[in-house]
Structure formats: C-alpha cells, structure tokens
Structure 1
Amino acid sequence: MRFFNPKRNFRVMRHRGRTAVLSAVLVAVSLAALAIRGPNFSVDFTGGTLVEVAASASMDAAGVRAALAAAELPEPLVQTTSDGAYLLRLQTDDQEAGAAVLAALQAADPAAELRRIEFVGPQVSDELFTAGALALVVVCAGIVVYLSLRFKWRMAVGAIVANFHDVVFILGTFSLFGWEFNLAVLAAVLAILGYSVNESVVIFDRVRENLRKSRANVAIVEVLDASITQTWARTIITHGSTQLAVLAMLLFGGDALFYFALALTIGIFASIYSSILIAGPVALRLGLSREDFLNPTKAARDGAVV
C-alpha cells in the first residue's frame, strides 16, 4: 500500500539541526523532572495501602484530607479518578487502614462508599522495585547487544540514543505531571523499548538496501530521506493500528488500564519521532558513510573480479 509518491522524497534530514535542539530540550526537561520530582511510584513499589472511594459532589480533595486529619489518620496522597472518585494512598502497613479511612469519610459524608482496597507490604514492594529495575536493565542490555551485532557501531549508537530518548521522555513526562507509575506503566515502558528499536532497524535496513542499489555519487543524506519516505506507509499502518487498540484501552479500559495505555500512547509517538529524527541524524553526526552499510569483504572480492 502506498500513501506517498516514491519518486518524491521528503527532505527530512534537512531539519535535523532543529530537531536536535528540540530533542535536547525534551531530554533536559525530562531529566530535570526525574531529578527534582521523581516518579510518582504507586504502592506496588513503595508499599502501603491504596483506597478508592466515591463521595458526593460536596466532598472535594481538601475535604477528604480534612476528614482523615480529624480522625488522626496518616496524611494521604489524594488523586481524582476519571469518574470523580478518589484514590487515597497511605504510607502505612496497617491492613485495617482501609476500614478506618472509610469510617472517617462516612462521618463527614454519609454518601461515601468504598470501591477497592489494595495493600502491599514493604518486603513485597522492595522485591517488586528490584525486579522491575532489573527487568529494565536486562532489556536495555539485550537491545544494546542486538544492535551492536546487527549494525556497524554508528547505526547502533543512533538506534540506542533513540531508545534512550523514548524511555527518558516517558519517565520524565510521568514525573513532570505526577502521574502514577505502577507495574503496568513499567510493562508499557518495556514494550516501547522493543517497539522503538524495531522502527529504527526497519529504516536502517532500507537504507542498506538503497545504498546497494544506488550510484556511488548519491549522498548518504539523500539515501536516508528516500528510505524514510519509503517506510512512511509501513509507519502509518503499523503505528496507526496499534494506536487504535491503545486508544480503546485509554478511553474504555477504566482506571486499571489508563496509565498503561497513556504510557503506550506517549511511547508510540515518541518512537516515531526518535526513529526518524534522532537515530539517523545521530549516525550522520558520528560520520556515517556508505561503507557502514556494505560488506567490505564482499566489496573487495567483487572488485577483484576481472
């Protein structure tokens, strides 16, 4: 399926200077958010009690805090759900805290009702945090090894930087806006790592094919533009169909899937941007040339034939 005229290439690489500045700003803001605010870890990683309650319209977040303070309960982190309920996260290992929270809220608002209670002990949360961090490190290491074996080092570095950009951008965005970072979001980040590297590999493979078929005097920048243009149709179909499924989870999946789908949405658009406007430009900056895509042994053997 073709959406674009393959004879007319989009000159994407001519904007690489501007996108480099944009990418640097995005990464700097994301790293600053991570350093200053840090991820808003859920009880999966911090331990404690998570209570979801629904209250009448007269009860706001400040009223919830006041009701718990009056009952001498620990001060909670209060978040509003999409349907107007409240998620209360308390740093306590008291398994009876949920019942105490409900009693305190019903004393202030008889219409308050309990929806769910989740309790995670400190030992379990520490194990989940360690296992999650280890999974992220192992996946990143595997991708680095795979790219190092698949391409010459300039293309490998370009794809690795693009993946780094996607992960940092997702984590930074969640930290900046204070969105909850739970196990589902971690799963989304791991999925996006593989999703993003696949897009970079497809583009670099097309570049390699085009270089083998093109004339020797064709600039590498032109080959990159042609390769990106030729993969537009695949990009639209693949990412568009994936985003439709993610959008369904985002709109209709409820609170359990909301942040998972949100992380995937951010990651899908970030992976499109980084694969096109980061991986290739970084490789060019490192001195990418035709020889990086060709087999020197085969080239020498072919050149020796009379």
Structure 2
Amino acid sequence: MRLKLVRENTSVDFFSKARIWLGISLVMMVVALGSFLIQGLAFGIDFQGGTSIRTQSETALDIGEYRNALVPLELGDVSITEVNDPSFAENQHVAMIRIQAQEGDERIASDTIEAIQAALVDVDPTITFQQIESVGPKVSGELINTAILAVTLAVAAILLYIWMRFEWQFAVGAVLALVHDVLLTIGIFSELQIKFDLAIIAALLTIVGYSINDTVIVFDRVRENLRKYKKKDLKEVLNLSINETLSRTLMTSLTTLIALISLFVLGGDVIRGFVFAMIWGVVIGTYSSIFVASAILLVLGVKRDWSKKDPAAGTRYAHIDN
C-alpha cells in the first residue's frame, strides 16, 4: 500500500489566478528589497568583522555586570545577548558576546582576547569559553565579495544550463524564480534581523539547487507534453504537467521539511539560522516552481513546432508517491 498525497488524475487549475500569484510574489519581492535597503542585514562576524565569544556559566547571567567588566578595555561597540534554548540544562547559561573589529587591526590581537577572558572570569568564576571567532575588517570585506560572486555565478551557471537543455523562455522563467527565492530569503532575514553569516550563504546556494531541481522536473514534463499534445493550449499543458508531477513535488518537500523542522527544534541555536533559511527556502522554492516559474513561461510563451519526439523526456519523475 502506497501513501498518496495527491489522488491520481488530479486536475487543479493552477493558472486560474496566475496574475494574482505573480502579483503576490511581486509585492513580497518589493517588501523584501525595501527591508534590505532600509534596515539592511544583521551581518555576523564573518561579514562585519570583529570577535564573537560564546560563553557558558553555571550561574544566572547578569549582562550588566558583563558589560561593566568590559568597559575599561575600551573595545568600542559590544553586544551581549543571552542564548535561550529548550535543550539547555537548568544550570546551563549561555551568552553570545560580539565585539566590533578594532580599527587598524587586520586580526584581533590575542592579548585583547586574553584581557576579555580575564575580565569576565573576575565577574563569574564559573564561566567557560565555548567558542571564539575573530575576523579582521579586510577579511570580512573579502568574504562579502566572495559570497556575492558565489551566488551570482551559481545563478548564471543555472541560466546557461537551462538555456542549453530547454528553450530560452524556460531559462528566463527558471532564473527569475531563483531570483525570487533568493531575494525573499534575504528579505526575511532582513525583516527579522536574524544573524546573516557564511552559513546562510551556504543555505542560499542549497536553496538555489533545491528550487532548480523542482523547476527542472516540472519543465521536463512540460516539454514532453508539448510534444505529446501539439494542439492543446499552453495553459492546459502547463496545468497538466504540474498536476502530473505534484505528488512528487509535495512528497519531496514534506519529507525534507520533516527533517529540517526536527533539526530546528532539537539541533540547538548554533545551526538554527541555517536550518531556518533552509525551511523557508524549501517552502518558497516549492511555491516558485509551481506558481512563479511556470507562470512566467505562460507569459513568455514557447514555440510548439518541435518535430523530433523524445520518448524518454520527463518519464523519470512522473507519479512518484514513495
């Protein structure tokens, strides 16, 4: 007995409100871009430069005492936040201390880190230092440029791949859907001011791969059905293709989300930002492969005069229910 998320021969009309879906996506993209331009991203140490110290103590935290202990060191902007996690023990009190990059220093001096540790130990003898990360201003700037280049090259490579495998209309639809996914992910991080670091860049690249996989499977079936139903309207062919691959799309998304939600709840705060980005990306990627990429293809149109038949196209991904 197989689990079926979608009944056979389903015929949902995904394009009856195509303009509404595109309008919603456009509004979300404008809001995301506006949030990014107005309040920016909460860059982590990777991109901002500075020192990040993760501490753990057996006694309750007093952020005021921590801050007062660091004032004589004249470190500049210091941010101290308590980390709360349901998985922590009752006597496990964790804090994250972020210190801005010191002007003129490529790296945070080791004696400065030692002075910070000594000052905090004086306040709380039970304190331990779980993690210390330091990034200089020059390195952080290079990381920003490299991250932008990595995402741009990934999208450009996908554009080239889709263009070679399909028609140019398919490539435009797929890449615009990817831009939609990346922009909305950056927007949610800007809106919620969640820490944005190299782990999130890794999540963005993973989201790009996940989203394009869904889109290519739908487009593969569209190409097959365009050859098979030469007289059907493009809108009907798109609806048919999405319905035929809907079971596979939902099954893949739901099983992926089950694993990601488990990691989000049980994995601890260290990977929570990365996992949140992945959860958001899976939801948005599934939405865009159905409503955005195909809707753009419908608007652009596609030629219908393919003479050669490709019996293998699209047959690998139909009606996958397990």
CA contact (8 A) 1:52 1:117 kept: yes
Q: Which has the higher helix share?
A: 1
Displacement after TM superposition at 1:102 (Å): 3.9
Displacement after TM superposition at 1:71 (Å): 5.3
Aligned match of 2:254 in 235, 240, 249? 240
Displacement after TM superposition at 1:58 (Å): 5.5
Question: After superposition, what is the alpha-carbon deviation per residue over 1:257-304, rounded to whole angstroms, capped at 9, x for unaligned?
Answer: 221111111111110011111011112122x1461xx52x549xxxxx
Give me the whole-angstrom Cα distance separating, in 1, the residues matched to 2:62 and 2:263: 29
CA contact (8 A) 2:46 2:135 kept: yes
Give me the whole-angstrom Cα distance separating, in 2, the residues matched to 1:289 and 1:210: 13
Partner of 1:59: 62
Larger mean Cα displacement after TM superposition, 150-159 or 70-79: 70-79
Partner of 1:196: 211
Partner of 1:12: 14
Are the structure 2 counterparts of residues 86 and 279 from structure 1 closer, same or farther at C-alpha, using a change threshold of 3 Å? Answer: same
Identity of aligned residues (%): 35
Displacement after TM superposition at 1:189 (Å): 0.5
Indicate the SS of the match to 2:16. Answer: helix
Partner of 1:41: 43
Partner of 1:81: 83
Give me the whole-angstrom Cα distance separating, in 1, the residues matched to 2:110 and 2:296: 52
CA contact (8 A) 2:56 2:130 kept: yes
Partner of 1:32: 34
Aligned match of 1:182 in 187, 197, 217? 197
State how many pairs are aligned. Answer: 293
**One-letter amino acid matched to 2:34:** A
Partner of 1:149: 164
Are the structure 2 counterparts of residues 275 and 57 from structure 1 closer, same or farther at C-alpha, using a change threshold of 3 Å? Answer: same
Question: After superposition, what is the alpha-carbon deviation per residue over 1:231-278, rounded to whole angstroms, capped at 9, x for unaligned?
Answer: 121112222222233233322332332211111111111100111110
Give me the whole-angstrom Cα distance separating, in 1, the residues matched to 2:171 and 2:280: 23
Question: After superposition, what is the alpha-carbon deviation per residue over 1:194-252, rounded to whole angstroms, capped at 9, x for unaligned?
Answer: 11111111111111222322361x32222212211111211122222222332333223
Partner of 1:131: 146
**5+ long unaligned stretches in structure 1:** 300-306
CA contact (8 A) 2:5 2:251 kept: no
Partner of 2:182: 167
Moved over 6 A (4+): none
Give me the whole-angstrom Cα distance separating, in 1, the residues matched to 2:295 and 2:226: 17
Counterparts of residues 290-301 of structure 1 (less than 5 Å): 291=304, 294-295=305-306, 297-298=307-308
Aligned-CA RMSD value:
2.4
**5+ long unaligned stretches in structure 2:** 86-92, 103-107, 310-322
Are the structure 2 counterparts of residues 131 and 58 from structure 1 closer, same or farther at C-alpha, using a change threshold of 3 Å? Answer: closer
Give me the whole-angstrom Cα distance separating, in 2, the residues matched to 1:8 and 1:245: 28
Indicate the SS of the match to 1:278. Answer: helix
1:213 aligns with 2:238: no
Displacement after TM superposition at 1:167 (Å): 0.5
